[in-house]
Amino acid sequence: MWQNKNVWIILIGEFIAGLGLWTGIIGNLEFMQAFIPSDFVKALIMFVGLLAGVLVGPLAGRIIDSNSKKVVLIYSGIGRMLSVCFMFLAIQYSSITFMVLFMISIQISAAFYFPALQSAIPLIVKDNDLLTMNGIHMNVSTVSRIAGTAIAGAMLVVMSLSSLYLASFIAYGFLLITTFLLKIDESEGLASKKIKKSSSFKEVIPVLKETPIALTVLILTMIPYLFLGGFNLMVINISELQDDSTIKSFIYAVEGIFFMIGAFAVKRISKDKNLITLMFSFVTLIAFAHLSLFFADVKWMSLMSFAIFGLAVGCFFPIAVTIFQTKIPKEYHGRFFSFRNMLDRVAFQVVLLGTGLFLDTIGLKLMALVFGLLSLTIIIIYFIKLNKTSTYFQKKAEGSL
């Protein structure tokens, strides 16, 4: 795998682009803190961007399956660069409108980019290297997140907010250049031209019915999103609760480090293990991490909560993505990952709005209890249901699923 030039191009490009992405996210938080006092209004602005990504999801799936993955990656990269220009205008004119346009355009670009990338990885590496590749890819993304948030924090001290978005623009430009260097054999993954006439995701539903393990993972994936959907709003609120602006960078760093530990160790942990049982264990850890945010006013407790979350998610997502890539036929990858992307975004929207509303009404502590108990309830109900109706808990290895 390490002799494959495409692997290095993807990983290096992901690292540089991740620096730009998280530098821009810190800039977004700083901009919203300066101009938008309400957590719910912040959530609404994020909601608009996510909604735009959902609306283009069906189109993205058809385009990815019926066209070159590389071409889709290139055009979405160009879209990312153009979207940053809206933030330059937002800063110049102190305009919330231009920020909303930025959120919409960046999310539309992401709706094409991430499903195309997830569809391209199985065409680049062998099936038995997918878990390793997905774990390393997520680790590279996390390292760039840690570095990006740290750099952004340092830049805000000595430089203007515009400098953060200039850094993002340059990073996205580098990603675009590296994408041109990819060489992908798409003869196996490219579906027939009939896909261009396909209406939506109706072809994906029968595939999911025939692949119950993928449907199981989709349901379990909703648990981490109860935490992830309001992640940035919770970070802002914890910063205000503790009256410490530096805690934002510490939270991102701690969560990222433990995410890396989980993603690095996941292959060893999952060897000859029951993957469904492991995933139930990881989502249960996530639920307890959410509950522990009841003590978010205590600095070390808030850091511990995000550390537990990072570790659990770092183990969960590489396994989930690998199952999707190996169990779903390659000719459906574009539509399936776009379908999954839409579900993710809908979950994000609901959780994002709920988080903003709860933070404005009942506060972070009670919200953590509500979401944590809701997670545990879903886990217990589905665990009992799956245990009664299937034999997955008796199967030991990934190959048997």
Tens of pLDDT, residue by residue over 58-73, are 777 778 777 788 888 8
Better-predicted residue by pLDDT, 114 or 311: 311
Mean confidence (pLDDT) of the chain: 77
Tell me the domain boundaries of the chain.
Answer: 5-183+201-400
Amino acid 199: pLDDT: 44
User: Is residue 282 a contact partner of residue 315, using CB atoms and an 8 Å limit?
Assistant: yes
Q: Residue 303 and residue 235: Cα distance in Å, rounded? A: 11
Q: Would you place residue 288 in the very low, low, confident or very high pLDDT band (cuts 50, 70, 90)?
A: very high
User: Is residue 281 a contact partner of residue 322, using CB atoms and an 8 Å limit?
Assistant: no
Examine the pLDDT at 105 and tell me if it is beyond 80. Answer: yes
Specify whether the backbone of 94 is left (phi greater than 0), alpha (psi in -120 to 50) or beta. Answer: left
pLDDT average, residue stretch 94-115: 84
Amino acid 320: pLDDT: 80
Better-predicted residue by pLDDT, 401 or 147: 147
Q: Would you place residue 326 in the very low, low, confident or very high pLDDT band (cuts 50, 70, 90)?
A: confident
Which amino acid is residue 118, in one-letter code?
Q
DSSP string for 276-313: HHHHHHHHHHHHHHHHHGGGTTSHHHHHHHHHHHHHHH
Which fold, 5-183+201-400? Growth Hormone; Chain: A; (1.20.1250)
> Which tens digit of pLDDT belongs to each residue from 135-191?
777 677 767 766 776 777 777 777 777 877 888 888 888 888 888 887 876 665 444
Per-residue CA distances from 91 to 166, 177, 351 (Å):
12, 27, 28
Amino acid 308: pLDDT: 92
What is the C-alpha radius of gyration for the chain, rounded to an integer number of angstroms?
Answer: 20
Is 0.75 surpassed by the pTM of this model? no
Q: Residue 283 and residue 329: Cα distance in Å, rounded? A: 26
Q: Is 272 exposed, middle or buried (0-12, 13-18, 19+ CB in 10 A)?
A: exposed
Q: Residue 319 and residue 325: Cα distance in Å, rounded? A: 10
The percent of residues in the chain predicted with pLDDT above 70, rounded, is 84
Better-predicted residue by pLDDT, 194 or 136: 136
Specify whether the backbone of 272 is left (phi greater than 0), alpha (psi in -120 to 50) or beta. Answer: left
pLDDT average, residue stretch 195-216: 65
Instruction: Quickly tell me which residue has 């539509």 as its tokens.
Output: 335
> Which tens digit of pLDDT belongs to each residue from 220-250?
888 888 887 788 788 888 888 887 777 877 8
